[in-house]
């Protein structure tokens, strides 16, 4: 799956193993003309989608010291962040605090280099 996805987007894809989350599948997605991937997980009985794509030209980082952008729409929570030229977003009906916990896990693992939540621009 990782190899198939990596061959179709302009960055290497590694499917992260997140705590208490079951990976269910992946697909390509498009946003603002940019191709990316969306990984689907089951977490605490709810579906969570993890989107990754090249950062767009209009990206503006959140004010320091906050790393994550947060929002909600139609009952879905969104936690997004930017790292190494890529935009990441977790979307689901879980409470915002739970999505933040998963986002921090991904960022911490990537920063430690122990399990690159491995999206690297080529």
Tokens of 21: 């989350």
Q: In the prediction, which pLDDT does 64 show?
A: 57
Task: Name the CATH architecture for the domain at 2-121.
Answer: 2-Layer Sandwich (3.30)
Q: Looking at residue 86, what is its pLDDT?
A: 87
16-48: string of b/e by CB count within 10 Å (b at 16+)? Answer: bebeebeeeebeeeeeeeeebbbbebebeeeeb
Residue 107 contacts residue 67 (beta carbons within 8 Å): yes
pLDDT at 101: 94
pLDDT tens sequence for the chain (122 residues): 777 787 889 888 888 888 899 999 999 999 888 889 999 999 999 999 999 998 877 666 666 567 898 999 999 999 998 887 888 999 999 999 999 999 999 888 777 665 444 454 43
C-alpha distance from residue 48 to each of 53, 59, 96 (Å):
17, 23, 12
Domains of the chain, residue spans:
2-121
């Amino acid at each position: 799956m990782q190899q198939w996805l990596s061959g179709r987007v302009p960055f290497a894809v590694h499917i992260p193993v997140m705590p208490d989350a079951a990976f269910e599948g992946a697909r390509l997605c498009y946003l603002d003309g940019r191709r990316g991937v969306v990984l689907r997980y089951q977490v605490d009985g709810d579906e969570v989608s993890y989107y990754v794509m090249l950062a767009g030209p209009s990206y503006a980082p959140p004010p320091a010291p906050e790393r994550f952008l947060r929002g909600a729409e139609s009952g879905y929570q969104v936690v997004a962040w930017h790292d190494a030229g890529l935009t990441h977003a977790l979307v689901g009906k879980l409470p915002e605090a739970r999505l933040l916990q998963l986002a921090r896990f991904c960022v911490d693992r990537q920063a430690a280099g122990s399990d690159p939540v491995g999206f690297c621009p080529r």
